[in-house]
A and B are shown apart, each in its own frame.
Chain A
Amino acid sequence: MKPAAFLLLLVMAGNVRSAGPVVAPRGSSVTQVIELRNFEFAPPRVEVFTGDTVVWVNRDAAPHTATDSLGRWDSGNLASGERWVWVAREAGAYGVVCRYHPAMRGALVVRAPRGLVSQLR
């Protein structure tokens, strides 16, 4: 058996052995880019799955932050052109604000893992 095929079998065995949800391999996660442009989050509302990556990029000349409205996470100061990478670990709905500019508001929804296919018994 070729090493790659053997590895695939191991991965599959791991999934079958699990009593919990089956999730897609890690490689299926995606990256969602949110721009901070013209003092707005663009797009203003984003949905991702746990394991996905969200990248906030400041396209304005003025600095911004991408901050959870309840203070659970915060990008810190993002100067013009800077980006912040955040991995969605927990499902939930997050309000996103800029600490410097109160009118800037966005929403981020993190859903259950992508690739949830079945509950194996």
Chain B
Amino acid sequence: MLLRFAPPTAALAALSFALVSPESAYTQAASLDDAEIAHIAVTANAIDAELAQIAQGRAVNEEVRQFAATMIRDHTGVNEQAKALAARLGVTPADNEVSRSLRSGAEAARQKLENIRGGEFDIAYMQREVEYHEAVLAALDQTLIPNSTNEELKALLQQARGAVAAHLEHARHLRRELAGR
């Protein structure tokens, strides 16, 4: 797989909301290759599926629970495709500072939601889902898709973009519904 350098972007910095400093995200973004971009995408998918596992057991609203089930199903499906692609290309997705920071951010979000119960959990979870999908969408559009060089990886990221955009609209709809109750 060819290596290519990705320019620093605010989108990637936003996605890496748990980084100690934004500058480190920029530094890391400047040296991302396809293997690292693939790992960021896989990590972003896995994080949302894991949070959805918690939401399925915690949410009180049936639509929120169904949304969480969709997040698990879709992000798992996308990651299965990503793993199959990586195996086919003989590429091992490479851990990097951005994916590690995503993990840190996910842990922070999990801890924040840990102490919330009932309807408040539903609202907080949907708020987090809106913000997370906005950040992932921006990162896909501004950094991950434009800077991926392998055509199959780019196509998969574009497919993932469709899922993220649909999830964002779904999350916004549910957030509006919950706010109106």
Contact = CB atoms under 8 A, between A and B. Distances in A.
Chain B interface, DSSP helix/strand/loop, else mixed: helix
A62 B77 contact: yes
B78 interface: yes
Interface stretch (A3-11, A24-32, A46-54, A97-105): A97-105
A39 B78 CA distance: 13
B73 A101 contact: no
B170 interface: yes
- Find the residue from B80, B81, B159, B166 having the highest chain A CB count within 10 A: B166
Contact of B163 (A61, A79, A102): A61
Interface in A22-68: 38-39, 60-63
A61 B170 contact: no
Interface residues of A, number: 13
B81 A39 contact: no
A18 interface: no
A101 B166 contact: yes
Contact of B70 (A60, A61, A101): A101
Interface of B: 70, 73-74, 77-78, 80-81, 156, 159-160, 162-163, 165-166, 169-170, 173
Interface of A: 38-39, 60-63, 79-80, 100-104
